[in-house]
Structure 1
Amino acid sequence: MSPVFLDTDVDFTGVLAHRERASEEGVRYSLLSYVLRSATRVLERHPDCNAALGGGLRPKLARFGAVQPKIAMDRTLAGQRVVLSAVLPDLRGADLDEIQQAFARIKDTPVDELPELRGTFMLHRLPALLGWPTFRAVMAILPKRPQLMGTLAVSSLGHRAVNGFHATGGTAITLNLGQVKPTPVIRENEVAIAPVMRLNLCFDHRVVDGAEAADVLDEIKTDLENTS
């Protein structure tokens, strides 16, 4: 990959207000679900960013219709704390309830019962000399990439005192979420305090142009801040 990193601050006032109203009605939404909804909407408008590049002497570029986010999970496996990832279904047209249900199923199901992780466990059991070539061979099949790697990677460390972090998830676009914390902002030429999240976007410069990546980050920010 050729990773480049961008970041911005997102005012979560609207998101938290919507989340509180939903909670009063007995509905609980994860902040990640709001980000997934906004990112899906934006990537539908930017198919060049919902893509993957195959390796080899003659690299091939594939653009995907489906928007299938891969989410990273902080889990415990065999007594050891590990990071596992699972790919969500195509979220195009999904509302917040559907996104929350898809995310909650992955989050709340024991890792050894998730069908999305069976391939990962099978690969992990192989010797390294066999596992790595197998992984690269499977990833080279571009039409299978959305189901195996996702078309967008999303990772969050917002449950810790992390303002922002920079990582690549193996997809053309990766979103990294920090914590939401009270932050001074300027509104109508006056200082106010608002809940702000640092949002980082990593893009593969082999696939995505920098100007379009900046547009994607700006549009995700705008969509989140317009939550009502």
Structure 2
Amino acid sequence: MAQVLEFKLPDLGEGLTEAEIVRWLVNVGDVVAIDQPVVEVETAKAMVEVPCPYGGVVTARFGEEGTELPVGAPLLTVAVGSGTAPEPDGDGGGSGNVLVGYGTSEAPARRRRVRATAAGGPAGQPAPAVPAPAPAPVAAPAATAAPGTGPVPVISPLVRRLARDNDLDLRQLAGSGPDGLILRADVEGALRARTAPAPAAQEPSARVSAGSPVRDGVRIPLKGVRGAVADKLSRSRREIPDATCWVDADATELMRARAAMNAAGASRISLIALLARICAAALARHPELNSYVDTEAREVVRLDEVHLGFAAQTERGLVVPVVRDAHARDAESLTAEFARLTEAARTGTLTPAELTGGTFTLNNYGVFGVDGSTPIINHPEAAMLGVGRIVPKPWVHEGELAVRQVVQLSLTFDHRVCDGGTAGGFLRYVADCVEQPAVLLRTL
């Protein structure tokens, strides 16, 4: 006889406490194999597919697409056992993998059997291994419904808790989700409206600006990756007293060196890989910039390894993948790793581990066609090197005016970890390596 096991949203690691359902990969009634991905969720770090540790028939799903669920909330139930799908070796409980590399290493401790209803057996007996029909959609109640009556179209326990903590009656809301489902954004909007001051009375003519009536703008929730980036940038601005210095450099010789490398080798070397190699060499000479500030202990913590982050713009917002141990990699290894992480960023398959733990960031904003920038430091790091576009410009070379490939380099740094002399020394060394790549031979 089959038993019905409940699979909950697993711990996704890195301190993540919730995730939004982006897309269901299975339907009620589908047969799933052990460790088959069943749902795609978006966390504050990345988009990930969640595999189910059980094999069998999906009997129920919890949460519509667009719903946010806290870690530990039920995702789906699966009927496992005779007549469903092959069971794993051992006690038949599942693979125990849940989401490899995301903070879980064993199967959920709690399992529950589906209680028989009026159409099933007596209470307390296991229900037959028959797929349960999908629950009928709940219509959104009218805004005038009396408090305390009628069903509430809300699935996420996070939404219920948010409303309960703020004494908000969910029955007074009309949900914006599918079939009137009340989402977290609906509750937050109601709370903002409740605390917002009442607008002053206006004459009709006061609502006309430049000949057009005032209209409400489009509201875009700051959640998922965009919300996490917004929080991190805001924290950086609040906590880090940053400063920026910059210098123009003649990159002609660096471009020639790269062309020679690519002509001589089977694999091509990317420009960002060469810049990363230069960064690692500069950080070895100026370790103050490969650090972070422990505000509680009032200490600057210098780090030995260079885990180099790089800014990548994607359709889902700005992400900063991290190249581990950049100081120990050669140009070919750096090129391959940058390419792999960039592709993962574009497809939304970066893992939380690949988005955290950076010690220094390289920001190549030249790809956007701009020369300079004063970026916000990637908290809690201490510095960021910015690289503008490389363009032909008039330049005095060996005492004569010539057209050279010129780039603007900038360093934004935490003034708590070093003074302008150290920052200037770092940036000058980087510029020297760009202008004379042979300088790097000292560190190879």
TM over 0.5: yes
- Alignment correspondent of 1:7: 246
Retained in 2: the 8 A contact 1:164–1:199?
yes
Q: Distance in 2 between matches of 1:12 and 1:194?
A: 8
- Partner of 2:389: helix, strand, or coil? strand
Would you say 1:158 and 2:366 are equivalent positions? yes
- Alignment correspondent of 2:268: 28
C-alpha change, 1:169 and 1:188, in structure 2 (3 Å) is same
Retained in 1: the 8 A contact 2:377–2:413?
no
- The structure where strand makes up a greater share of residues is 1
* Aligned pair partner of 2:407 in 168, 191, 197: 197
Deviation at 1:27, TM superposition (A): 2.9
The structure, 1 or 2, with the larger RCO (C-alpha pairs under 8 Å, 6+ apart) is: 1
Would you say 1:219 and 2:441 are equivalent positions? no
Structure 1 unaligned blocks of 5 or more = 121-147
- Alignment correspondent of 2:277: 37
Retained in 2: the 8 A contact 1:72–1:154?
yes
Q: Distance in 2 between matches of 1:149 and 1:197?
A: 29
- The structure where helix makes up a greater share of residues is 1
Q: Distance in 2 between matches of 1:154 and 1:97?
A: 18
Deviation at 1:106, TM superposition (A): 0.5
Deviation at 1:157, TM superposition (A): 1.7
Retained in 2: the 8 A contact 1:73–1:85?
yes
Deviation at 1:23, TM superposition (A): 3.3
Deviation at 1:149, TM superposition (A): 4.2
Q: Distance in 1 between matches of 2:409 and 2:367?
A: 14
- Alignment correspondent of 2:310: 71
Would you say 1:91 and 2:346 are equivalent positions? no
- Partner of 1:207: helix, strand, or coil? coil
C-alpha change, 1:30 and 1:84, in structure 2 (3 Å) is same
Larger mean CA deviation between 12-21 and 25-34 belongs to 25-34
Please, what is the CA RMSD of the aligned residues? 1.8
Normalised by the length of structure 2, the TM-score is 0.42
Structure 2 unaligned blocks of 5 or more = 1-239, 439-444
Retained in 1: the 8 A contact 2:305–2:327?
yes
- Alignment correspondent of 2:377: 169
Q: Distance in 2 between matches of 1:202 and 1:149?
A: 19
Deviation at 1:43, TM superposition (A): 0.4
Letter in 2 for 1:96: A
Letter in 1 for 2:325: D
Retained in 1: the 8 A contact 2:282–2:430?
yes
Number of residue pairs aligned between Structure 1 and Structure 2: 195
Deviation at 1:42, TM superposition (A): 1.1
Report which of the two structures shows the higher radius of gyration computed on alpha carbons: 2
Normalised by the length of structure 1, the TM-score is 0.79
